[in-house]
Every structure is written in C-alpha cells, then in structure tokens.
Amino acid sequence: MGKKMKIDKLRGKLILKNPKIIDPLNETIFQNDVMLDNNKIVEIGSIKIDDDIKTIDCNGLVLTQGFCDLHVHFRDPGNGDKETLESGSRSALAGGFTRVCTMPNTVPTIDTPELINYTIEQAEKLPINIHPIGAITKGQAGSELSEMGLMFEAGAVAFSDDGLPIQNGLVMRKALEYSKMFGVPIINHAEDECLRADGLMNEGKVSTRLGLPGNPNIAESIMVFRDLKLAELTGAQLHVPHVSTADSVKHIYEMKNSFEKVTAEVTPHHLFFSDESLQYYNTDLKVAPPIRDDLSRKALIKAIKDGTIDCIATDHAPHTSHEKETTFDLASCGLIGLESCFGAVKKVLVDDEGLKLMDLLNTLTVYPRKIMGFDSDLIKVGKEAELVLFDEKEKWVFSETNILSKSKNSPFVNQGLSGKIKMTISKGYLATI
C-alpha cells in the first residue's frame, strides 16, 4: 500500500518496547512498555520480553494517541482520479492520523442518508476511522436545508457546505437551530463572496507586486463575526474552519469569553507560509482562504498558544496535476497536507515558537476528538489501539516520495520539517513509514 509504507495486520500479541509515552488527555509523560493483543491495549508497564511475542524496540520514539483530522477531502464518490477513501487512508496513516472527518463536496454532494451510508460502508474495510460530514444544504446550493436529521441518524458527525459558504444569514440561522437537535457542529467556510470577488490571493503589498487580484481579510472576518453571533443567538455548536486572519482570531477570542459552544481550527499551511511565499506564483499555495501576511500568521500562532484556536486540521484537498499545472488564475484551490502535517506544525510551533510538545499533541488528538464527541481517553488498558509513534528530534526534508495520496499538490515538497512519523496503529493494522 505505497512504496514508503508497509501495512501489516496485527495478529496476536505485540510489545512496543520502551517508548516515551505522552498522554495528552491526562497530561502525563512516562517511559514504559505497551502490549497489544490484536487491536487492543492489554498492558502498560514493564513487560518482560518473550521470544514468542513480536517485540518492536521503540527506544527514542514518542508514543501518543493517533491524530484526528476534522477536515479532509477524499473526493469519494465521483473524483477517484484525485483521491479515494482508500488512497486517502494511506495518506492519513503516513501522517499519523487514525481518524478523519470527510467533507461532503463530492460528486454527487453528500446530502442524503444514502450517501452517508455509502461512506461508512466503504470505510469499514479501511485501516483508519472515517466519519462523513453531511452537506448543510441540498447540492451545496445554499438555499434549502438538506435532510440533516436523516443524515445524522445514518452517521453524519457534523454539517458543512465546505468551500461554498452559506451566504444567506437566515439559512445559516436555521441550520444552526436545526443542528441543536442532534448536538453536532455546523462548519461554515467563512467568506463573504461579494467581498472576496475575484481575489486569487491575500490582498496586500504582495498581491499588488505580483499583479494578482486580492482577497481582503475582511471577506473572512466579517463572515466569522456573523456566524459567531448567529451561534450565540441560537445556542448552537459552531466550528470555524481554517481560520486565516488576525481579525477572525479577535472575534473568536471575544465570543469565547461569553459563549462556550464555539471552536476553531487552523491549517499547517496557514501557520507555515505567508503570502511572501507566493512570489513565484506557486499554484500549490493557491488555497481558500488564501495564505495571509506574516502579521496574520503570527496571530494564528498566538491563538494556538492561548487556546483561542482549538485544533489543527489539514484541509487535505487533492487535485490532479492538470488542475495545478496552469496559470495562477486558472489553477484550482487546495493542497494536500496529511503526510506533512506533523513535521510542519512541530517545526513552526515547537521548534520555532516554543510551544510545549504536549500542547501541540492536544491540538492534534484530544481537542479535535472532543469537538466531535469522540472518545479521547485512549492511552489506557482495554482501549482499541489508535496510536502513533514518532521521532521528535528528527529533522528531514519533505519530498514527493513521502506522498501517498493520489495527488501531489503539496507546497511542502523540499521544505525542512521537524519530527517524523515512524509507525501508526489503527483498526488492527500497523503501518510502518
């Protein structure tokens, strides 16, 4: 399942010998052995090596919960040339992710219980946990609410129209009110389409210099503000995706002081790059919302540190080469990010900005699970093994050979990263990267 990754079915007992265990939920760090039996943790402690039990020397590696990504695009159904649930699962394993939530902008749109069922049934045979997000409106048209109740009963974990923001405030209010019945979040891509206009990148000095139409910060922040106020009015759960501007951070911070049902995510690429990185018209950095200036980048870093932004999500968005190898104005928006995620955010947040590794791991494990209501107490005897092992000290250069996605649209190629995933354990499989 990929040149650079081996996937084995776990059979019988396996001892993970002497890793440094970081339990982000309980904020504990300790050195110990972990024994698995098929797909369950059966012992944590000093375990005597037995010649009859397979043992992996994990000295020098960190063991923690498998990562959880609330925002991926696996393009299934309809665009299997870009990604499938199966190829997306390989990408996730390579990045240390054992659980992901898939966005509904597929062909057809995931806006019925039948299509929710399709995703769940296809995912059963795959080595990671995949949770479908249903569309807020029928066909993502932004006007008529979808069958949210039936989709929830079928297994939808949230609702979003993803890259098509809900422009109509009344529709957004009704979606929030309706979602309260199910206790799941509404996720709205926050952009005012009129203010965004034909903007191709962040509006500022760099866009002027490059001669590209700009997308102003206010196109996002004004929509974030509207959605926050509607969430407060309705008492519903709102999750703000891929926050990119300092003003959005300010609005979220202020709302969190009075209303607790608001959460937010940031992507690795908005933390790692600034609009200066677009000076050579790299279409892999054409994303929505756009890569902003360094002032916004630093505001996002501060927001992770102070808890205004809860979690990191990749917004993994595969595209074929012909969709990206064109002029900047014609190129599709989006980049892949699962395989590079940990190395990118560890470099920026821990190495460069002094965030504690424990706090970083919380943004990748516990916090996203809590937002979706998933079990977040996983370093425990009796639990199904959702684990990742990584070398926290390894410095490496990301290359195309590290990509297991069907698509290759990554701006992280040739970038120096810090912290390397070595093993991912999920659903009774061991992936060695």
Catalytic site positions: 315
3-state DSSP assignment of residue 382: coil
Q: Would you give the DSSP letter of residue 136?
A: S
Q: Are strands 97-102 and 129-132 parallel, antiparallel or unpaired?
A: parallel
Q: Is the dihedral of CA 326, 328, 334, 335 positive or negative?
A: positive
- Write down how long the chain is: 433
Tokens 């200066």 appear where? 276
C-alpha distances in angstroms, 126 versus 14, 104, 122, 161, 429? 21, 19, 7, 25, 10
* Farthest CA pair distance, the chain: 67
Tokens of 400: 């195309």
345, HSE (Cβ side, Cα atoms, 13 Å): 31
Tokens 């084995």 appear where? 8
3-state DSSP assignment of residue 284: helix
Contact in structure between 5 and 432 (CB atoms under 8 Å) = yes
Instruction: Considering only CA atoms, give the Rg of the chain.
Output: 21
Tokens of 203: 């509006």
3-state DSSP assignment of residue 42: strand
Tokens of 257: 């002081």
Helix, strand and coil percent figures for the chain, each rounded to 5: 30, 25, 45
Q: Where are the alpha helices (DSSP H) in 257-347?
A: 268-272, 294-306, 321-324, 341-345
- C-alpha to C-alpha distance for 361 and 390, rounded to whole angstroms: 12
Nearest 5°: phi and psi at 15?
A: -105, 125
Question: How many CB atoms lie under 10 A from the CB of residue 170?
Answer: 9
Tokens of 380: 């425990």
* Of 177, 188, 287, nearest in space to 240 by CA: 188
Measured at the alpha carbon of residue 285, what is the angle toward residues 282 and 290, in degrees to the nearest 5?
130
